Amino acid sequence: MTKTQAYMDKYQFTVAENKRFARANFTKLVHTNARFEGVNTTLPQTQTIMDGMSVAGVPVEDVLTIVNLKRGWQYITAQNSPLTLTMEKQINKIVAAEDALVPGELRQGKGGVDLGSEDFFEPPLINEKQEQSFLQKILADPRTTITDKALTVMYHNMRQQIFWDGNKRTATLSANKIMIDGGAGLINVPLDKWDQWNELIANYYQTNDMTKIKQWTYDNGIQGLQIRANKKLSANELNQMYKQLKKTDKLELKLVEDEISKRTQNHLKDFAKKKSRS
């Protein structure tokens, strides 16, 4: 973390709410994550494949990537214990089941990433104890926010290339496990800014300085619901949000209804206390 950037958590969900938010967005999340492997299906095609049906013209390899990403998201939203290196291995075993040399096992040999324009990045050899210690240290640091921890783990794992394959997918799901456990929303790189992200990740691989890509992801890739944004909404803002959501987002509508109900109950309690004193 830099001296001037704290990466404050933008959202405050309960863990259960954050899991529901993730599940409600599985299709969008899988659709974006599949782009790491060059999958170019449309959002409706991605949904169809996730529903277990075939789509004409989509290669089997792409179908398997989508299906395994769905299973990966199902896995992390079903886990109640904090992220560990063992859990990261299981995530990789799921999402890279069809393309890794040894799915779920840390890389034991040399690896490399083609950065384009004849540039090639060769990551360091992996030491399991060091990776385990790194993760534990980041998660236990009381000075950093949930979002900061998640972004640091995600980009560290991507550059280290700790697995044989599927490192971006595994790192993204691992980071989102941290976000979900802390109720901080989700990390999802927007597809309309994919080119910008690719330039930043290539620069990070070359420089080993994640400051720029962390800040960019914080500004562009942290997602949540307005009702759980880290700010206090006025009663008028809450009512306006309720009217707008009645025909759209059922999940956020339910959270708005709960918030209105909670505030109403609190007002009634305050009124009753005042009456008993008079």
pTM recorded for the entire structure: 0.82
Strand partners, 119: 116
Q: Where are the domains of the chain?
A: 15-224, 235-277
pLDDT given at position 42: 95
Mean per-residue pLDDT, 143-147: 96
Instruction: Look at residue 184 and give its three-state secondary structure.
Output: coil
pLDDT at 1: 39
Which string of b and e fits 7-40 if b means at least 16 CB within 10 Å? Answer: bebbbbbeeebbbbbbeebbbbbbbbbbbbbebe
- What CATH number matches the domain at 15-224, 2.40.30.10, 3.30.200.20, 3.40.50.300, 1.10.3290.10? 1.10.3290.10
The pLDDT of residue 123: 82
Mean residue pLDDT of the chain comes to 86
| Percentage with pLDDT > 90 across the chain | 70
Query: What is the C-alpha separation between 216 and 213, in angstroms, rounded?
Result: 5
pLDDT at 225: 84
**What is the arithmetic mean of pLDDT over 99-120?**
78
pLDDT tens digits, residue range 51-102?
A: 999 999 999 999 999 999 999 999 999 999 999 999 999 999 999 998 878 9
SS3 97: coil
User: Is pLDDT above 60 for 3?
Assistant: no
